[in-house]
Structure formats: structure tokens, C-alpha cells
Chains A and B, each alone.
Chain A
């Protein structure tokens, strides 16, 4: 591509890093003049050129009416600063909950936007770096919940980096924006990598069951739905009766205790091992097996069920990471 765009991209990256470093993990953010940045957008720069052109026209023709129109647009530009700023100012943004996902998947992150008074705020754009942007409109007083997809590219605590909240509404001449870095409670599990060669495990007895579905046809019972579980297992009937969100458990009666063991994957680096172990955990759970986790010293005793699975995946996700959200990025 042309060299200019690569320079621009490099610049953008630098700016982003500057804000990244400046930002602190937050659990709530009140958007006011201290947080909001506002600068002319590209269209705004064009508008300034228009104002200049009108000024030239007025000056050269010594025409006071054109001066008036020129100043009207200039004043319009100035008041637009106020109106555009108003599109975001006064909002409170809070993270509500975040999905736990495997690395590489987009995590659905729920945010709450609250405003003290009913006020129409249109064209508010939300975007995590590298993620899809989403446009929302706020209207009523109180909380509005919005789900944004956050890309994940590192296992550990979910930290999608800076959330950009921006708007050019109403005139498109100025862009008001802020960067927020929220503390989310989601976990990014290692991306599962299938490795059938080692599915046996050391003490596994459930050969033939890893293909899963055949062995997990039997309905075992209900358990509370946990974030991250497959929607296919949701007990919709119970949910419809307003009895809460449950998930159906399937399993079979074959004794299939097995260990997902760090030592099984000798010769690989940490991430490769964790990915394969994560896959193994999922396989076992899907097959309804009873499995345990051995991870350099800390064991999770064999069990099954989604809580167990989650516990295991969480342990894998946080392997080698301090038990503190936000610390994850220091490791890479």
C-alpha cells in the first residue's frame, strides 16, 4: 500500500500505546470533560476549509452578507463542539458481566450505560481495538445494557484493552471520544488444540468414548447454567417456566476417570501444552467422563460437570499468571 497509510497506521499505533499506558483499570467510568477528548473529524477539517473559502470570497468581494454566512458557519462549528461533547458527557459506563471464552473467540461483554435524565444520544460507537464496532442510541433515563464483542488474543484474565467510545453526532464535524480500560470478570481460556494422539491419558479407561456424542446421550440431570456452556444444553423448558437458567447434563455410566496431565505433553512449550490440555478437558467433559487436572504441582481432583470444567479451564487459563486481573499483559 502507499507509504503514507503505513505511516498513518504507525502513528495511530503509537497514539494508542500512549493511551494504553496512561489508562488504568477501572470498574466504573463517568464521562465528563476530564475524560472526553474532542477534535475536528476529517469532515470537520473540510468544514474549516469551507469556512476559509467563504472568508476569502467575502473579503475579495467585500461582501458583508458572505461574511455573515461565513461567521454563521464558524459559530456553528463552535457550538457543535458543545453539542457533540454533550453526546457523551454525563454518561456513566460500567462493565456488567463478561463471557469467558477460548482465546481467539470474541467475548461478549455487557456494559451498562446510565444517564441521570432522559436524553437522546444517537450514534454512539463502541469498539475494542481490533474488534467490531457497534453503534447504539441511548434515550431513556437510567441504565441501558449493551453487549459488545471483545476480541481475545491472550489467555488469562479477559483484558480486551482500551474500549473506544466515540461519537460525531450531530453534525459530524467533531469527534468526541474516550478510551476506557475496564476490569472484567471474564477469563480467556487457552485456545483448544485437538491432539487425538494423546487422548488416552495415563490412567484413562474410557477409550472409545472420546468421540463423545454416543456416550453422552443419556440425560443425567439439571445443573445451574454457567457462562461459557453450550447453549444447546440449556434447559429451555425450565427457563420458560421462570425457574431459572439451568443446563441439562448428559453422561453415561461408564467409569471413565482420567487425568489431563501436564506431563503428557512433554517437549512442547507452555502455550502448546495448555491448549492441548484445554481441548482434552472439553473432550472429557463432552464425553461425560470424570477427569482430573494435573498442572505442575497443583491438582484438581477428578470430577465432572460444568463447574468442574470451568475450574479446570480457569486453572489452565491462569497458569503462570498472577492471581490479579490486569497483570496478564505484563507477561507478554
Chain B
């Protein structure tokens, strides 16, 4: 059966178009430009059509458009199975559907699509401001849903958004309860992840200039929450990458699966001697689209899917394409491979490209003869650094023999220059050495127990192997610029051009202003809490529910849901009570009701829908004795209630109703 109101109303159209526009705006950077243009044109066409300026496109045009879109998407994307192609298809389909939307039914389907497409945005970005935009889109889509169901006569109106907001607000407590208790199952099948987005961060090679570029960025790398005391800054060497191979210019990581790279499982402590108690912490890492993870040496983790390989790197089984939490334990006192190196490793960690940096090789051999022992030689190199080198963000460019030029000519460099040259020098002297990349320090939040590590905290240092002691961390930068270790890079280079070059308006530039600093600290904390409690909630879920409910039983979980539902509806019920008190009947109506009750007792009740004058007439006809009184009451009431010209004397009516003698029952 066809309902009389199957057609989409004006206001409904307005809201559906708004919801679509909001979704397109959300996804601007994920859509091919021509899809955005197409969506805009569809909106425009629909608006013009509505105003009667153009007709709906006939079906051949629509068919051509659909086919064109399909072809376009196939050509634009290498495969249609990714997340972006599917999203583009969704948006393009949405836009084209607008061109044939007349029915409420179509509009409702489109609103559902809008909800879905908006939610997809959370796969791409999970920042608080972005999520707020998604929520806003949800409000618009909900308003569209309401507007579709409102009477057709209404013109453009914001009304639906009020109702939508009210309903969504009512839903919030229940949503929260569901969020807290619904178990997360984990991925059901493998899914396409968003394409690698170029993000700054420590890369998998190390060449001169690599790290000084990172200093331009204030992007978040990861946050760490320590369970106990936060260690001092100079111990916060976040070790991530281990560069063991050098080709004369670039340091690269050794193959994961080299002959000597057995993947050690997380309980395997082979080659490590750990001393004392570990410190415990949780890292919330931003997506890097790479596999490596950062931790303090030497780490162990209860997390599945994280492996430690022989050079003590941590490697995740999956790429980090979304913000990820992992728990860590680290023993800051350790011996790494003290017993001796596997021959393959000993070879690898000493190897040099033939003919590279001849001057350095020559000097290294000479110094090695003059100064026997690894420690003494290292000390001598560091002293050289300390005496005549400059730590700067903008080192001069280097030619073919980078180490030679740096060590004996320019002598100005950033951490990667120092670490790389140091490792090269040690290798040239015949000792195993390698470069390690990661982050140093980070910002320790003054009140909350966590550390924020940003891209500009990127750092490179070296490790040398000493018989009996194993791998020892040596940070040549510390020899040149000890203040870099103790304080943040931000403090060191605040006024240099290279620092935060990519984000000229970053608040971090103005930290010396008290208020700005306060804002940054609050923002950091909020971001941290967001990462821990929202984005990584599944890691907290069990503990949190235990804390909240005592024991996690089905009964208690149901109770939580019920309480939440109760809270949802509480304001509504309270409003009803308040409303009840507010509406008072008109006193004149109350008097007339008394009169009618009197007559009802006399066996003559007023009928539903019977006007008071009609009723009085009927009373008069039945009981002629009270005719004048009854008619007078009716007349006075009508005059006072409906005719503004009469003085509002309620007493008159009251007197008459009071005095009215009930006629005897017939």
C-alpha cells in the first residue's frame, strides 16, 4: 500500500545534501580530485533541479556517468580492492544516486551511506579534532534522518538538528556503557589498510642529513607511560633501528633473516644477561607503516606479534599502520652478547666497503696501534670530537668520502654524522661497531607520569663491542654537545632556522611563554589519555571493568547497561515532571469543569465535543428551572474566555458557578 507521504520533503532534501557535503568534505584528501568535483556537480545539479532550472538527467546520461566513474576508478587506482578505491566508489555512487532521488526510501539509504562513509574516516585518522568532525557529520546525518520523517509542509528549518542532538545526547550514556563492555574480537579477516602516507620519522637507512630533516617536524612519534619512576633523561635512549651495513655513504639494517638472525621469541633471552629489576612501561606508537618498534635496552615484552632479533631490535609482525599500544619491560643494566660474537656477526660488524674513506682508515689503523684497547681508542676519538667539532642543525654538504670530509675538513655535523663516523672509525680500527637509530629523551610531563617523544627527538648513536662486556652504547654527540643529552633539542635549537622548519606556527616554538606551555602540556595529556583510553581501550578493558565492577560477571555487566540506560532517560523523565508542574489549567476552565461536574451528578453529563453553549442549551431544555442560570454561566464563560473586550472578572464566573443550584434528578 502506498503511503501518502512517500515523497522526500524540501527540508529532507536540504539535510541529505548537507550530510553528503559533510562526508565529501571529511574525505577531501582521500578522494581523487575528479571524484570530489563530480560530487560537487551532483549536489549542484540536484539543487538546480529542485529549483526547477534543470530536469533530472535522463537514464542514458546517468548510465554513462556510472560507467565513466567505474572506468575512471579502475584507471586511477592500481587495484579496486583497497580502502581508498572503495571509499571513492561509495562517494561517487552516493553522488550519482542524488540525481535520481525522489523517494524517502532512497534518501534514507543515502543517509545510511553517509553514516558509513563518515565512520570510514576514522580508519585514516584518529586525532581528536578529526573525530569531532566525524561526530559533527553524524549529527548532520541524524538530522537528515529526522527531517525525512517530518511533515512535508515544513520549509527549510534547523529544527531536525535540535531533535537529533537531543536524541544523540540521550544515547550517550548507553553508548559509553556499550563501549566499555562489548568485547573486542580482533580482526576477523585480513583487510586492506590505508596506503602508506609519507610520514616523517626515522627511516630504514641512515645517511647524512637524514636526522637533521626530522628536526623540522613536531609530529608525535610515540608516548610512554612508566609504571614507576620515570628514568632520567639521559637514560631514555629509545632504541629502534640497528644499522650494521655501510656502503660508503649510507648505513642500512642487516637482513632480518640473515644466516645469523634467528628470530628469537619473546621469552628467549639468548645472548642477554639482565641485571636487577626491569622498569615497566607502555608505549603508544603513532602509525609509521613500518615494522620496527622502539624501546629502552634491553627490552622484553609480553605482547604477541613482537619479536626481538639477534641485534636486539624489536620487530612487529604487522606493519604499524594504526596507532598501537605495547607493554614493555626493560632492564637498563645489561650485557648484550658478552660471551663473544658469532663469526658471521663479527665479520659483518667489522666490514667496510673497500676503498672508502682512505684517510680515516689510515688514521684509525695508526691510532689503534698507538692506543691499544677499545675503550681507550673510543675515548680518544670522543676527545677529538669534543675539542674541535661543532654540533649544528645545518651542516655543510659532504662529497664522496663523507667520513673523511667530516672528520678532517668540515667538522660540523649533526648526530648522524658523529654516530656514523664514530662507528666507521672503530670498524676501521678493527673493532665491531654499528650505528643505532631511535629517539633520545622526549618531554617528561611535569605532573602526569608520561613522556612525549616527537620527531625532533630523533637521534643516532653508536654501539661498540668489547670482549667480556658485550655491546656498549657510545653517544658521540654527548661528547660534542653534552647539553643535548640533558635537555631537549627544542631548548637547544629554539632559535635556529632548521628547527620546526616544517611547522612554522607550531605552538612548540613559543614554549617559553607560560600560558602556551601550559596549553601544550594539557593538550599532550589529553592526547595521551585519548590514545590510552579510547584508541587503545582494548588493552585496558579487562582491568578497567574489574576495577569498576569488582568481578566481571554477566549479571554485573547487564546491570551496568541498565544503569546507563536509566541515566540516558533520566533527564527526559525529569523534564516530564517539570512540565507537569508547569502547565496549569486556566482557572475559568476549571470553574466550567465544576459546573459540568455538578450537572453530571444531576444525570446530565457534558458530551465529548459538545460546546459549552450547546451544553447549556441542553441543560435548559432538560431542566427549564435553571435555564437562566445555566445560560448565564455559559455566556459569561464564553465572553471572558474568548472575547478580549470583556473585563476579565473571574469572580463573576466563580460566584455564578458556586451559586448554581443543581436541579433535582429527573
Residues of A within 8 A of B (CB): 43, 46-47, 50, 53-54, 56-57, 59-76, 78-80, 82-83, 94, 96-97, 110, 112, 117-119, 122-123, 125, 132-133, 135, 137, 141, 143, 145, 168-173
Residues of chain B lying within 8 A (CB to CB) of residue A169:
149-150
Closest chain B residue, CB of each to CB of A82: B569
How far apart sit A171 and B146, CA to CA, in the bound complex (Å)? 5
Residues of B within 8 A of A (CB): 3-5, 104-105, 108-109, 112, 115-116, 118-120, 122-123, 126, 131, 134, 138, 142, 145-146, 148-151, 163, 167-168, 170-175, 178-179, 182, 184-189, 191, 322, 534-538, 565, 568-569, 572, 579-580, 583, 608-609
Query: Do A75 and B163 touch (CB < 8 A)?
Result: no
A121 to chain B, nearest CB (A): 11
Query: Do B583 and A61 touch (CB < 8 A)?
Result: no
Given A63-B126, A132-B4, 18 new contacts (CB under 8 A): A46-B109, A54-B115, A54-B116, A57-B120, A59-B186, A64-B179, A64-B184, A75-B172, A75-B175, A76-B142, A76-B168, A79-B167, A94-B608, A110-B609, A122-B150, A143-B608, A169-B149, A172-B148
Residues of chain A lying within 8 A (CB to CB) of residue B174:
71, 74-75, 78-79
Residues of chain B lying within 8 A (CB to CB) of residue A171:
142, 145-146, 149, 167
Query: Do A65 and B172 touch (CB < 8 A)?
Result: no
Checking B123, B148, B150, B188 against A56 with a beta-carbon cut-off of 8 angstroms, the contacting residue is B188
9 A-B pairs (CB sep. < 8 Å): A64-B535, A67-B182, A68-B179, A72-B175, A73-B115, A75-B171, A75-B173, A83-B167, A135-B4
A170 to chain B, nearest CB (A): 5
How far apart sit A133 and B1, CA to CA, in the bound complex (Å)? 10
Query: Do B119 and A70 touch (CB < 8 A)?
Result: yes
Query: Do B188 and A64 touch (CB < 8 A)?
Result: no
B524 to chain A, nearest CB (A): 20
Checking A53, A60, A137 against B187 with a beta-carbon cut-off of 8 angstroms, the contacting residue is A60
B421 to chain A, nearest CB (A): 43
How far apart sit A133 and B2, CA to CA, in the bound complex (Å)? 10
Given contacts A71-B179, A72-B171, A112-B609, contact A63 B122 (CB under 8 A): yes
Given contacts A135-B151, A143-B609, contact A62 B187 (CB under 8 A): yes
> Mostly helix, strand, loop or mixed at chain B's interface?
helix
Checking A46, A65, A96, A110 against B112 with a beta-carbon cut-off of 8 angstroms, the contacting residue is A46
How far apart sit A122 and B154, CA to CA, in the bound complex (Å)? 12
Closest chain A residue, CB of each to CB of B5: A135
Query: Do B534 and A50 touch (CB < 8 A)?
Result: no
- Which of A57, A65, A96, A133 gathers the greatest number of chain B CB atoms within 10 Å? A65
Query: Do B534 and A64 touch (CB < 8 A)?
Result: yes
How far apart sit A286 and B604, CA to CA, in the bound complex (Å)? 37
Residues of chain A lying within 8 A (CB to CB) of residue B126:
63, 65
Closest chain B residue, CB of each to CB of A119: B579
How far apart sit A75 and B172, CA to CA, in the bound complex (Å)? 7
How far apart sit A61 and B123, CA to CA, in the bound complex (Å)? 7
A174 to chain B, nearest CB (A): 11
Checking B151, B171, B182 against A79 with a beta-carbon cut-off of 8 angstroms, the contacting residue is B171
B499 to chain A, nearest CB (A): 33
